[in-house]
Amino acid sequence: MAEPIITLLENWDETHTLTRDEAIAILELPDEQLPQLIETAYVLRTKYKGKKVSIQLLTNVRSGNCSQNCAYCAQSCESEAPIEKYRRVSDEKLYGDNDLVDEKHLARHCIGLSGIRFTDAEIEDLAARIRKMKKNDTQICCSIGFLTEKQAQLLKDAGLNRINHNLNTSRSFYPNICSTHTYEQRIQNIRMLKGIGFEMCCGGIIGMGESHGDVADMLMDIREIHPESVPINFLLPIEGTRLANRDISGLTPEYCLKVLCLARLMVPTSDIRCAAGREVYFKGIEPTLFKVVDSIFASGYLTAGGQGIDDTLRMIQEAGFTGELESTDEE
C-alpha cells in the first residue's frame, strides 16, 4: 500500500476524497516517507492558513464532579485524581483571563465546563458572563456538555461564537471509553448546534487504545461535520483515571505527526490544533509541527503578566511562523 500512497501524496489532488484504507495507509506510512507527507500537508497549511499560528487561552470555568465516566478525564465520576473541584471559577480569574486574551491579542478565549447537563438558570448565568466578556468582541469558544436547543440559543444570543464538542474517538471504540453517554448523542448535539449557526470545534484524543482504523473512522466523521476547528489531543495518562497505566509508547513524534497530517489532508480548510500533549510529544520539533498545524493553546500563561504567552509567541517566531495577533471571524 505504501507505494500508491506515496504517489498520491507526491501528486496530491485536493479533489480526491481519501478512503478509509488510504487514511489507514497514511497512519502506517514508513517513517522515512514522513517528510513527503509533511510537505503535502504544508502546502495545504500555507494555502489556507498562511504562516499564522493562532493561540487560544483556556479557562476551566467548572471543574470536577462530573456524572460521566470518560476514561481519560480527571473530572469524571470514576476518577480519583486529586484535582481542584469547583462549580464556578471566580469572576476575577474568568475576567482576568479574558483581559489577557485581549491584551495579548490572542485568537480566542476557550472556556470549559465539566458536566453534561445544565439547568436553564446555569446557562443564563453563563450567558451573562459571556456578554460581559464580549465587550471587546473577544472570540469565545465554550466546551460544554449537551445543551437543549433553548439553552444553545441563549448562548448564541449572548454572543458565544463557537462550541467545542469532540467526538474523541470512533463510533465503534466509543463504548470502551465511556458508557454513560453515546457517540450518537454527541453527533446529534453537534448537528443541533450547527443548525443554530454555531461555529464548531470538534476533534479527538489519540492514544487511548484505539486502532488506526478507529482514527480513520473518527476523522472521516469529522470531515463530514466540517468544523471550523479540529483539536487533536494526544493522551497524557492521568494518575487516578482508568487510563492511568495506558501504554503510550506508540505515541512517537512520527506517529503523532502522521495523525496531524492526516487531519490536515482530510479537512484542509479547518484550523488543525495540536491540543493536549503538545509540550510532551512535540518538544523540540515545533518548527516541524507548525508545518502541519496552525493552532495551539497557550502554555504556562499563569505566570506573572502572561509571561508564558510571550514565550509561546517567541517560540512560534523562532520556528519561522507568526503568532496570530488579531481575532478574526472569517477563518
Comparing CB distances to ligand SF4, the nearer of 73 and 94 is 73
Instruction: Supply the minimum distance, in Å, between the C-beta of residue 303 and ligand SF4.
Output: 26
Give 179 or 317: the residue with its C-beta nearer to ligand SF4.
179
**Smallest distance from the beta carbon of 63 to ligand SF4, in angstroms?**
9
Q: Does 98 interact with ligand SF4 (rule: CB under 6 A)? A: no
- 110 interacts with ligand SF4 by CB under 6 A: no
Closest CB 142 distance from ligand SF4, rounded Å: 13
Which of the ranges 70-78, 225-233, 242-250, 280-288 carries the binding residues for ligand SF4, by CB under 6 A? 70-78
Task: Establish if 59 lies at the interface with ligand SF4 (CB under 6 A).
Answer: no
Is 61 an interacting residue with respect to ligand SF4 (CB under 6 A)? no
Out of 75, 98, 138, 229, which residue is the one contacting ligand SF4 (CB under 6 A)?
75
Q: Cβ of residue 74: shortest distance to ligand SF4, in angstroms?
A: 8
Binding residue (CB under 6 A) for ligand SF4 from 73, 106, 201, 313: 73
Q: Does 66 bind ligand SF4 (CB under 6 A)?
A: yes
Residue 270 interacting with ligand SF4 (CB under 6 A): no
Please state the closest distance from residue 92 (CB atom) to ligand SF4, in A.
23
Q: What's the per-residue H, E or C state across the chain? A: CHHHHHHHHHCCCCCCCCCHHHHHHHHCCCHHHHHHHHHHHHHHHHHHHCCEEEEEEEEEEEECCCCCCCCCCCCCCCCCCCCCCECCCCHHHHHHHHHHHHHCCCCEEEEEECCCCCCHHHHHHHHHHHHHHHHHCCCEEEECCCCCHHHHHHHHHCCCCEEECCCECCCCCHHHHCCCCCHHHHHHHHHHHHHHCCEEECCEEECCCCCHHHHHHHHHHHHHHCCCEEEEEECCCCCCCCCCCCCCCCCCHHHHHHHHHHHHHHCCCCEEEECCCHHHHCCCCHHHHCCCCCEEECCCCCCHHHHHHHHHHHHHHHCCCEECCCCCCCC
Where in 140-199 is the site for ligand SF4 (CB under 6 A)? 145
**Strand pairing of 322-323 and 271-274?**
unpaired
Residue 133 sits in the site that holds ligand SF4 (CB under 6 A): no
| Nearest to ligand SF4 of 51, 181 (CB atom) | 181
Name the site residues for ligand SF4 (rule: CB under 6 A): 66, 68, 70, 73, 75-76, 114, 116, 145
